[in-house]
Every structure is written in structure tokens, then in C-alpha cells.
Amino acid sequence: MASERLAEALDTAFGSVGPGVPLQRLVAPGKPGKVLLAAADRSDDLLVIGTGARGRLRRAMWPSVSRYCVARASCTVLTVPPSPLHQALATVHRRNAWKLPLSTAELVD
């Protein structure tokens, strides 16, 4: 099932054209940081990882996979921060969930 979800995600992201660079699909069990470093173990590999939004509670409860990878990787690691749009959409989602009034002015900077 994980392989199917990965294939769907890549098809959604890149479509039938593909990413334009060599790509190897891999589903592996284990702790995320260790599995990622085992997969990207050559010096000419590139590991691209999202940093995610991390509040105080999340940092205290779960260690950062991206920090783990940056500190221990033998290859180049590209960290991608969350989009500012993601935070705006999360705010809208919370307001909808709580049925609070929404002003579209909040969506424009």
C-alpha cells in the first residue's frame, strides 16, 4: 500500500512528464532519518527533505528528521522550508473547523 501511495504522490507532483532527473522510488521500513541516510549514502547523492513547521511542543516530543540528516549525511542535503501559503491555509482550515467567520483580507499580505 505504501508503494501505491508513493506512486500516486509522484504522479500528482510530476504528472506523466516525470521530474526531469533520475529518480528511484523506494519504500523502506525503519526510523525516517536512518532510512533516508541509508538510501542517500554516496557522496554524489542529493537528499531533498522538507523541514516542516515545528512548534515548541513538536520539537520537545519528536526529534527533527531534517536536522538528523543534515548533521549525519555523507551527501549534499537540500532542506526545503514550508511554504508561507501552507500556514495561511492551515489558519483557514482551523477557522472553518471551529465555524469562525472568515475574512478574505486575512489571506492577502
Instruction: Return mean pLDDT, the chain.
Output: 86
Per DSSP, the three-state class of 2 is helix
Question: pLDDT (tens digit, 9 = 90+) per residue, 77-106?
Answer: 999 998 888 778 888 888 788 777 766 665
Residue 50: domain span: 2-107
| Count of domains observed in the chain | 1
The string of DSSP letters for 79-109 reads EEPPPHHHHHHHHHHHHHHTT----GGGG--
Which of 17-21, 29-33, 92-96 is predicted least confidently?
92-96
Nearest to 72 by CA among 41, 44, 28, 50: 41
Split at pLDDT 50, 70, 90, the class of 39 is: very high
Question: pLDDT (tens digit, 9 = 90+) per residue, 56-74?
Answer: 787 778 888 999 999 999 9
Split at pLDDT 50, 70, 90, the class of 44 is: very high
Question: How many angstroms separate the CA atoms of 68 and 77, rounded?
Answer: 11
Q: Other CB atoms closer than 10 Å to residue 52's CB: what's the count?
A: 15
Question: How many angstroms separate the CA atoms of 65 and 61, rounded?
Answer: 12
For position 29, what pLDDT does the model report?
A: 95
Cell reading at 23: 529518480
